[in-house]
Structure 1
């Protein structure tokens, strides 16, 4: 199902080029849902497991020591003492063993924009693990556009010098969105003519050309077309789905913000903070439950519709 648009082809080519170099950093950035992780998975699927041991980690706001522990854990390394020196020693020993086996390690860091500067600098220090002048670990960074600003910080010059290629993924133009939808329909065994041409501008306007949002809205459009038994989905059907989605978003409960009040004493502040967090968490859980109930109702309607179709066919058969 991987659709290789021009930008995605370029980003994948950069990853493959960086892989062939065996050193330095490759940086792929883009907005949420533009396909960074999809490209990383596509690269991983193409790797020769006998030559490259690749691991992918998804980061939050990890401090350097926590990042080192996560990397060691991703490669299934065991340490006897849980301190930074032990973890670094375990990583270095593991990389040397791979080198002796004519293999090497690859680390893909997803959501890298969440890393503080010190943690990114720690990744650069790991690239100093070398034998005979050859780096033992190579890292690819995938992140949202904020990662570019982090890398451009004045104290990141040494890191920038080790970036051998970078690419930025942007949203699809309307013609790309149309080609993307038609490609996925064909890959799933359908016909590209399932949607009329007037549907695509509406889908483009709603999704803004972001692949993940295109996938989401197309799921609903196809479900609607199935339930309504439309052999060709027209613009009116798409607009009805978009109106339903807009109504659902409008009906979602908002998380109440705490009222502004004078600064309390430390103990009272902790209590207010806890109550606020509990209130927000409850609202989030209520919202999630509401969404699941909605999905259950949609599934129930779909099953009832299928049963009606089966009953209708059985009646027709009995009549015959």
Structure 2
């Protein structure tokens, strides 16, 4: 599409969560370090919260890539499970003996024995629940009961809950306080700052083989305003900006190309859309204090 024109080896802003493009800076590095440390120290429950598009799935995949063969990882992508479906899935993933219509107490005993066998083999079981805010209340309680399984010194299964901010609201319920109290560590993925977006864009381009800076400063600032610092929106708009620049036959993405990307993206944040639609360009005022911006009506866009 535009790879040859810009000297790229692969698409830098794909929406697929590729660990090659994990941005190991700011809240992402902090969250990853916390996750790895908590899991290796057998801390039990860990929670990661972030808005849609902030990179939770990519973080979880990066986490899995950091764990060696001594970890037995179970991943739940669809968290809308009944308690029995959850227990059945865990049993299947750890090789527990089950049969149809097995009473709940027998199923739990079978899971416990299978977990003990894995520990004897030097395996540490980690359950990663994505989109945990969608998990029903009764299933969360079943998850807590599974987490009760332990030896005198170690948890037999650790759990990583990954979800949107609604997960915090769910866990704040009085009837889930026993689960909430078991969460040893938690972290929040925050949107990127303006400087963070600029660094993120350059990092993605460098990782895709760029040999020069492909986005102008004004283009990066507009990307920030239109994305609110949400990585998924940055990727979407930057990708369209590259297409617009390639179509124009130029070697660098400028303000007008990002503006075209915004006009083609209803997902863009209101401020960015207003600027793009109105032709306003925000630049720091020369000699002004930090954070002061000037709005300039553009005649010729950069």
Which of 80, 84, 95 aligns to 2:99? It is 80
Across the aligned residues of Structure 1 and Structure 2, the Cα RMSD in angstroms comes to 2.0
Unaligned runs of 5+ in 1: 249-320
Structure-to-structure mapping, 1:187-226, within 5 angstroms: 187-191=207-211, 193-226=213-246
Q: CA contact under 8 A between 2:53 and 2:230: conserved in structure 1? A: yes
Return the offset for 1:16.
Answer: 1.2
Q: Deviations over 1:28-86 (max 9, x none)?
A: 0010111111111111101111x111121113432212222232344455622244445
Corresponding residue of 1:242: 262
Rate the CA distance shift 1:243–1:76 in 2: closer, same or farther, 3 A. Answer: farther
CA distance in 2, matches of 1:247, 1:176: 20
Identify which of structures 1 and 2 has the higher relative contact order when contacts are C-alpha pairs closer than 8 Å and 6+ apart. 2
Corresponding residue of 2:75: 56
Unaligned runs of 5+ in 2: 1-20, 269-302
CA distance in 2, matches of 1:229, 1:105: 53
Q: CA contact under 8 A between 1:57 and 1:71: conserved in structure 2? A: no
Which of 95, 99, 110 aligns to 2:130? It is 110
- Structure 1 or 2, whichever has the larger Rg, is 1
Query: Greater share of helix residues, 1 or 2?
Result: 1
Structure-to-structure mapping, 1:298-317, within 5 angstroms: none
Return the offset for 1:182.
Answer: 0.5
CA distance in 2, matches of 1:48, 1:177: 32
**Total equivalences in the alignment:** 247
Q: CA contact under 8 A between 2:242 and 2:257: conserved in structure 1? A: no
Q: Which region of structure 1 is more displaced relative to structure 2, 176-185 or 161-170? A: 161-170
Counterpart secondary structure, 1:198: helix
Moved over 6 A (4+): none
Structure-to-structure mapping, 1:177-188, within 5 angstroms: 177-188=197-208
Return the offset for 1:202.
Answer: 1.6
Q: TM-score, normalised by structure 1?
A: 0.72
